[in-house]
């Protein structure tokens, strides 16, 4: 369920700059995540940490629990979308950051992200992610490398790690927060909903460390691809999506990705026997192909239209 009904008024001069929401299943890495926020160097009263205990048990006592900027609430095993939405519902910050309990922020991350958002007027600011394995060893640095209208990029499967971004709280509530129907890809779904109506800004700074440890994950990645297709299909039914995609698809490759987005929706709806939706997606996909007529002889257009997207912004 979304949280669109939980409206908030966010004022430019609000004393609370950012709320960091950390849902947890009681991992031993929770302390590291919380302390990475407390060590950001922001003055007290300008930030808060909301730890959402999504277990049936109390958290082990820790020193960070006594910090005046930290609150702990419980959601009793309702899953992470509900946990994050619950944390957002009691937050007071102008911006929201969602940090997983096995990840952590790097020094200066929140200040840099919030400054970039304020300066640009963007509703979401993101930075570079440092991806680590379970032993803390660097795998890659990652970011999608674009800003402004990034709708076609996130609709094509580009991943903005949740911990690397701050989102204007008012916008988070207006787009409905995290949708529990798309668990596993609920973060991608949120960014797609924001990108449908607002621009992103990126900063050239590594802001968070993301630990990729499949042995301790709570995600069922076997359903991730299909959930992503369902999320995409749901958003593409919004009447604003076609125009927004066209504006963001500025190369033959991305115009091919636009066509592919609608073709996957055709397949999704035929599988579920939603015939009218399938035909509507087919019509839009055809229109996208017709409008890209100048690209039909270019290999990159067909590579994008017929093959899965390959992320390249890693280093």
Kindly state whether residues 156 and 241 are assigned to the same domain.
no
**Mean pLDDT to the nearest integer, 62-91:** 94
Residue 1 pLDDT: 44
Select from 198, 221, 244 the last residue of a domain. Answer: 221
Structure tokens at 304: 């994008």
Asked, for residue 99, whether it belongs to a domain, the answer is yes
Residue 168 pLDDT more than 90? yes
Output Rg (C-alpha) for the chain, integer angstroms. Answer: 20
Kindly state whether residues 173 and 252 are assigned to the same domain.
no
Q: Across the chain, what does the average pLDDT equal?
A: 89
Backbone angles phi, psi at 61, to 5 degrees: -60, 135
Residue 2 pLDDT more than 80? no
Asked, for residue 6, whether it belongs to a domain, the answer is no
**Mean pLDDT to the nearest integer, 2-30:** 71
Asked, for residue 199, whether it belongs to a domain, the answer is yes
Cα–Cα distance, 133 to 304 (Å, whole number): 30
Cα–Cα distance, 104 to 211 (Å, whole number): 9
**Distance between the two ends of the chain, CA-based, in angstroms?**
36
Q: Percentage of the chain surpassing pLDDT 90?
A: 71
Asked, for residue 10, whether it belongs to a domain, the answer is no
**Using an 8 Å Cβ cutoff, are 226 and 214 in contact?**
no
Asked, for residue 11, whether it belongs to a domain, the answer is no
Residue 6 pLDDT: 42
Asked, for residue 8, whether it belongs to a domain, the answer is no
Kindly state whether residues 139 and 93 are assigned to the same domain.
yes
Q: What is the DSSP letter of 58?
A: P
Cα–Cα distance, 151 to 145 (Å, whole number): 13
274: helix, strand or coil? coil
Residue 218 pLDDT: 58
Burial class, 90, CB count within 10 angstroms (exposed 0-12 / middle 13-18 / buried 19+): middle
CATH number at residue 60: 3.90.550.10
Asked, for residue 106, whether it belongs to a domain, the answer is yes
Residue 13 pLDDT: 47
pLDDT digits (tens, 9 = 90+) for 192-246: 999 999 999 999 999 999 998 665 555 565 677 778 888 999 999 999 999 999 9
Q: Which strand (E) or helix (H) includes residue 243? A: helix 241-248
Residue 188 pLDDT: 94
User: With bands split at pLDDT 50, 70 and 90, how would you rate the model's confidence at 9?
Assistant: very low
Residue 224 pLDDT: 73
Select from 194, 221, 248 the last residue of a domain. Answer: 221
Residue 7 pLDDT more than 70? no
Q: Which strand (E) or helix (H) includes residue 206? A: strand 200-211
**Using an 8 Å Cβ cutoff, are 76 and 110 in contact?**
no
Q: Percentage of the chain surpassing pLDDT 70?
A: 90
Asked, for residue 311, whether it belongs to a domain, the answer is no
Residue 222 pLDDT: 62
Residue 99 pLDDT more than 80? yes
Q: What is the DSSP letter of 137?
A: -
Kindly state whether residues 151 and 274 are assigned to the same domain.
no
Residue 74 pLDDT: 94
Query: Which pTM value belongs to this model?
Result: 0.89
Range of the structural domain that residue 105 is part of:
18-221
Structure tokens at 241: 């999506």
Select from 221, 245, 277 the last residue of a domain. Answer: 221
Burial class, 315, CB count within 10 angstroms (exposed 0-12 / middle 13-18 / buried 19+): exposed
Kindly state whether residues 102 and 156 are assigned to the same domain.
yes
Kindly state whether residues 237 and 184 are assigned to the same domain.
no
Structure tokens at 28: 């031993």
As for how many domains the chain has, the answer is 2
């Amino acid at each position: 369920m979304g949280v669109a009904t939980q409206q908030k008024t966010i004022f430019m001069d609000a004393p609370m700059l950012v709320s960091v929401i950390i849902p947890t299943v009681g991992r031993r890495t929770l302390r590291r995540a919380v302390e990475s926020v407390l060590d950001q160097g922001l003055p007290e009263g300008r930030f808060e940490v909301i730890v959402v205990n999504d277990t049936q048990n109390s958290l082990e006592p820790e020193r960070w629990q006594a910090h005046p900027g930290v609150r702990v609430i419980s959601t009793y095993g309702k899953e992470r979308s509900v946990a994050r939405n619950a944390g957002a519902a009691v937050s007071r910050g102008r911006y929201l950051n969602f940090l997983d309990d096995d990840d952590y922020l790097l020094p200066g991350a929140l200040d840099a992200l919030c400054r970039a958002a304020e300066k640009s007027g963007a509703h979401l600011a993101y930075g570079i992610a440092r991806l680590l394995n379970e032993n803390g060893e660097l795998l890659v640095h990652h970011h999608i490398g674009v800003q402004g209208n990034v709708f076609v990029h996130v609709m094509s499967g580009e991943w903005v790690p949740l911990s690397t971004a701050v989102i204007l709280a008012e916008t988070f509530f207006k787009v409905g927060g995290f949708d529990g129907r798309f668990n596993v890809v609920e973060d991608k779904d949120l960014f797609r909903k924001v990108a449908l109506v607002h621009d992103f800004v990126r900063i050239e700074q590594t802001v968070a460390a993301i630990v990729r440890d499949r042995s301790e994950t709570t995600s069922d990645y076997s359903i991730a691809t299909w959930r992503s297709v369902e999320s995409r299909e749901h958003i593409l039914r919004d009447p604003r999506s076609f125009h927004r995609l066209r504006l963001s698809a500025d190369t033959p490759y991305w115009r091919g990705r636009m066509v592919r987005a609608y073709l996957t929706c055709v397949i999704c709806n035929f599988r579920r026997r939603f015939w009218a939706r399938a035909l509507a997606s087919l019509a839009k996909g055809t229109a996208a192909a017709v409008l890209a007529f100048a690209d039909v002889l270019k290999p990159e257009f067909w590579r994008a239209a017929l093959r899965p997207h390959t992320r390249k912004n890693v280093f």
